[in-house]
């Protein structure tokens, strides 16, 4: 039996746990806090028994209302000079310098004293990771 360990509020998968005893749900309960360093507070984490053979990870799946869901591609973004818009709320954006920001207003923007193209990587609980190129022209 496998157990999917996930964050209750967001549905983000934290880890998978393989248990040899298929009837022992207590294994999952006892392992939640120590399974993954990304679990900041185990009061907000739960588990779901999983009997399928599909590879499950945070990169490809999430949970909503106790149901395992496959991530889908991001909706189309809008592009302007130094902007990317139509970004879904709560998207994490990784900038070229490694900085990560959580976007809640639907867009990011940047400027420069020279024309340039940068790559931004977008992460969201329900969408597949996507890297986009944004251009700024002086």
The one-digit pLDDT tens for each residue of the chain (138 residues) are 777 888 877 888 887 777 665 455 555 555 555 544 444 554 567 777 788 778 888 899 998 888 899 999 999 999 999 999 999 999 999 999 999 999 999 999 999 999 999 999 999 999 999 999 999 999
Of 70, 90, 108, the domain-final residue: 70
Domain count, the chain: 2
Residue 9 has a CB neighbour count (10 Å cut-off) of 9
Whether 52 and 111 share a structural domain? no
> Do 134 and 79 form a contact (C-beta atoms < 8 A)?
yes
- Domain around 125: 78-136
Whether 51 and 103 share a structural domain? no
96 Rama class: left (phi>0) / alpha (psi -120 to 50) / beta: alpha
pTM, to two decimals: 0.75
The predicted pLDDT at position 27 comes to 56
* Long-range contacts at 65-70 (CB < 8 A, ≥ 24 apart): 68/4, 69/11, 69/126
Say which DSSP state 73 is in: P
Whether 7 and 64 share a structural domain? yes
Whether 92 and 129 share a structural domain? yes
Whether 16 and 59 share a structural domain? yes
Phi and psi torsions of 91, nearest 5°: -80, 135
């Amino acid at each position: 039996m496998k157990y999917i360990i996930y964050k209750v509020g967001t549905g983000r998968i934290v880890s998978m746990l393989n248990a040899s005893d298929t009837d022992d749900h207590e294994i999952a309960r006892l392992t939640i806090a120590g399974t993954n360093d990304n679990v900041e507070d185990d009061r907000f984490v739960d588990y779901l028994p999983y009997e399928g053979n599909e590879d499950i990870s945070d990169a490809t799946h999430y949970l909503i209302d106790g149901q395992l869901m496959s991530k889908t591609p991001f909706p189309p973004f809008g592009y302007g000079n130094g902007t990317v818009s139509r970004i879904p709320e709560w998207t994490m954006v990784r900038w070229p310098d490694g900085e990560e920001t959580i976007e809640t207003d639907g867009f990011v923007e940047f400027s420069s004293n020279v024309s340039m193209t940068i790559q931004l990587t977008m992460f969201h609980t329900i969408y597949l990771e996507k890297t986009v190129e944004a251009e700024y022209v002086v």
